[in-house]
């Protein structure tokens, strides 16, 4: 579309979308749009590519995802596209998703009913660690949250082949995080907040690892028992965090640019 067409379509969406969806879906749209904007803030974008997908409340076969052609900084609650399990738009309109890019997301959503949000990135640090033979090392407290709790999927080419889905799901297993070798990172969660938090700390772990290995100094690897204990501590941390971090992030977005809510 030409820029004038984009402007027309996005303005129409801003006027009409909230009236067409349930209050529950609108709330989900706002949370997902916030996640896209946080991805911009923390520099985890790849132009118009990649996705963060969210199951439509009350539906197991419909998902919200970014419109193909929009930068993450342009994503808002009203211009998210509703798609089926194959990535095709459910509602008629001028915006569409990238079906090819939904192959990875569809695989996880199909196999994991406990997962409502799937987050995939191609960050510099994430791709770099995905190319390192030993994968993610437990050399930081952030990385230890993933100790024995992350999968690895070997690179098979651009994720366009449907038969790769079964191997991707197999390699993710019961985990919430997956390193796609020579490709990038993936996280999954029961909520947007959970998927974002997993990605934020996985990305930070990769950045720390690159800094530490680039120094050339010998690395300190804590013993297995300490790493496992730390991972269990992180698993139970929601008991006292209770979304405080997510609410703080939303307040930050509201101060910077609340247009994600439109």
- Say how far apart CA 76 and CA 61 lie, in whole Å: 22
Percent of the chain exceeding pLDDT 90 equals 80
Q: What letter does residue 43 receive in the DSSP assignment?
A: T
| Mean pLDDT confidence for 202-215 | 97
- Say how far apart CA 65 and CA 55 lie, in whole Å: 9
First-residue to last-residue Cα distance in the chain? 21
- Comparing C-alpha atoms, which of 5, 28, 6 is closest to residue 191? 28
* pLDDT tens readout for residues 20-77: 999 999 999 999 999 999 999 999 999 999 999 999 999 999 999 999 999 999 999 9
- Comparing C-alpha atoms, which of 151, 177, 181, 173 is closest to residue 234? 177
Per the structure, the complete domain to which residue 251 belongs is given by: 3-261
- Cβ-Cβ contacts under 8 Å for 22 (sequence gap 6 or more): 57, 58
User: What pLDDT is recorded for position 7?
Assistant: 82
Mean pLDDT of the chain: 93
Tokens of 132: 């390192």
- Say how far apart CA 94 and CA 5 lie, in whole Å: 9
* pLDDT tens readout for residues 54-66: 999 999 999 999 9
**Does position 150 have pLDDT exceeding 70, yes or no?**
yes
CATH of the domain at 202: 3.40.225.10
- Say how far apart CA 49 and CA 72 lie, in whole Å: 9
Strands 151-153 and 177-180: parallel
Tokens 């009236």 belong to 19
Q: What letter does residue 49 receive in the DSSP assignment?
A: B
Quickly count: other Cβ atoms within 10 Å of residue 143's Cβ: 23
Q: What element of type H or E holds 117?
A: strand 117-121
- Cβ-Cβ contacts under 8 Å for 73 (sequence gap 6 or more): 37, 40
User: What pLDDT is recorded for position 148?
Assistant: 97
**Does position 93 have pLDDT exceeding 80, yes or no?**
no
User: What pLDDT is recorded for position 160?
Assistant: 75
User: What pLDDT is recorded for position 145?
Assistant: 97
The residue count for the chain: 262
Domain count across the chain: 1
Task: Could you list the beta-strand ranges (E) of 28-116.
Answer: 52-55, 63-65, 81-83
Tokens of 190: 């029961």
* pLDDT tens readout for residues 213-258: 999 999 999 999 999 999 999 998 776 678 899 999 999 999 999 9
* pLDDT tens readout for residues 177-200: 999 999 999 999 999 999 999 999
| Mean pLDDT confidence for 168-178 | 97
| Mean pLDDT confidence for 92-112 | 86
User: What pLDDT is recorded for position 135?
Assistant: 97
- Say how far apart CA 150 and CA 147 lie, in whole Å: 7
């Amino acid at each position: 579309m030409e820029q004038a067409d984009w402007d027309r379509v996005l303005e129409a969406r801003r006027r009409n979308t909230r009236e067409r969806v349930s209050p529950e879906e609108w709330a989900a749209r706002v949370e997902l749009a916030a996640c896209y904007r946080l991805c911009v803030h923390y520099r985890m974008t790849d132009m118009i590519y990649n996705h963060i997908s969210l199951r439509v409340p009350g539906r197991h076969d419909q998902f919200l995802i970014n419109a193909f052609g929009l930068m993450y900084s342009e994503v808002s609650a009203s211009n998210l596209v509703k798609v089926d399990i194959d990535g095709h738009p459910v509602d008629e309109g001028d915006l569409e998703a990238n079906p090819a890019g939904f192959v990875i997301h569809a695989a996880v959503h199909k196999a994991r009913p406990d997962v409502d949000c799937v987050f995939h990135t191609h960050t510099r640090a994430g791709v770099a660690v995905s190319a390192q033979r030993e994968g993610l090392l437990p050399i930081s407290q952030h990385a230890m949250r993933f100790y024995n709790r992350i999968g690895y999927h070997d690179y098979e080419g651009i994720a366009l082949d449907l038969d790769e889905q079964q191997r991707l799901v197999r390699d993710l297993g019961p985990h919430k995080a997956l390193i796609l070798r020579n490709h990038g990172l993936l996280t999954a969660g029961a909520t947007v907040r959970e998927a974002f938090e997993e990605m934020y700390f996985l990305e930070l772990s990769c950045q720390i690892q690159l800094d530490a290995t680039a120094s050339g100094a010998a690395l300190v690897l804590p013993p297995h028992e300490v790493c496992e204990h730390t991972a269990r501590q992180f698993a139970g941390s929601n008991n006292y965090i209770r979304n405080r971090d997510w609410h703080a992030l939303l307040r930050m977005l509201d101060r910077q640019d609340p247009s994600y809510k439109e």
